[in-house]
């Protein structure tokens, strides 16, 4: 069974440019999460989809970040325009069950904004 896959693994862009990160969750997992880790800091929650609906987007930093999950399958996270402080590793995770349980993480997309 394929795990959570993320693309790209690494992206280097200049301030002001746009980047779109993609996440393919484990098939059948209704819950999809985006997290971000800035170096040395915690893995910080960004948002949570249940199928195609945004269940919780309280962690989204500002309106430069847009997440979508059309059709309830894969998800994209767009940063437009990117700022220096957006640099970090963006993790996607999925889970099957509601309530507390194991999250299955992707390997992350490392974003470097110059």
Residues that bind another protein (CB under 8 A): 3-4, 31, 33, 35, 40-45, 48, 50, 55-56, 59, 91, 98-100, 102-103, 105-108
Tell me how far, at minimum, the Cβ of 42 lies from another protein, in Å.
Answer: 5
Give min distance, CB of 96 to another protein, in A: 13
CB of 20 to another protein, least distance (A): 20
Considering beta carbons, is residue 20 or 55 the nearer one to another protein? Answer: 55
- Three-state secondary structure string covering the chain: CCCCEEECCEEEECCCCCEEEEEECCCCCCEEEEEEECCCCCEEEEEEEECCEEEECCCCCCCCEEEECHHHCCEEEEECCCCHHHCEEEEEEEECCCCCCCCEECCCEEEEEC
């Amino acid at each position: 069974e394929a795990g959570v896959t993320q693309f790209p693994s690494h992206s280097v862009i200049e301030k002001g440019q746009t980047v779109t990160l993609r996440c393919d969750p484990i098939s059948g997992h209704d819950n999809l999460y985006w997290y971000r880790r800035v170096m040395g800091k915690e893995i910080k929650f960004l948002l949570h989809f249940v199928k195609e609906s945004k269940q919780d987007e309280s962690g989204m930093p500002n309106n430069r970040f847009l997440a979508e999950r059309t059709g309830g399958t894969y998800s994209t996270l767009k940063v437009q325009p990117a700022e220096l402080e957006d640099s970090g590793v963006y993790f996607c995770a999925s889970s099957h069950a509601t309530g507390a349980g194991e999250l299955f993480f992707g390997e992350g997309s490392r974003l470097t904004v110059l």
